[in-house]
Amino acid sequence: MSIPGILAEAGVPASIAALSIPGLMLGTVGAAIAMRRHERWAFVLLTVGSALATPAVSLSTFALLAVCVAPWLDRRTALASTFDALPGRTTTGIVRE
């Protein structure tokens, strides 16, 4: 399954469907530039665009879209479990006795 293949099956001429990947990438970059003041959404746009602009879209491609939630994760919370697992360390940098 690919974007050009899906378009060709929908009746779009092959010559136009072949331009869908470059068009998708240009449109994605243009939209991200327009959204540059909203960094989280620009990241999501670029992630979705790059995932869908692959020559073959599969189920694993959609798994890549899980990173779209990354801009909304609280870094302190995500790192807390990692750093607190180290002996004698906390996220505040205070050494525990």
By three-state DSSP, how is residue 18 classified?
A: coil
Any domain includes 95? no
pLDDT tens for each residue of 23-80 = 989 999 999 999 989 988 999 999 988 888 888 878 887 788 888 887 777 665 555 5
User: Is the entire prediction scored with pTM above 0.85?
Assistant: no
pLDDT, residue 10, reads 92
Any domain includes 26? yes
Query: Of 65, 66, 69, 93, which Cα lies nearest the Cα of 79?
Result: 93
Any domain includes 80? no
Residue 16: C-alpha distances to residues 20, 23, 40, 76, 78 (Å): 7, 10, 32, 47, 44
pLDDT, residue 67, reads 82
Rounded distance, CA 61 to CA 55, Å? 11
For tokens 């099956």, name the residue: 9
Any domain includes 94? no
Which of 55 and 13 is assigned the larger pLDDT? 13
Q: Which domain holds residue 68?
A: 3-72
By three-state DSSP, how is residue 1 classified?
A: coil
- Tally the domains of the chain: 1
Any domain includes 45? yes
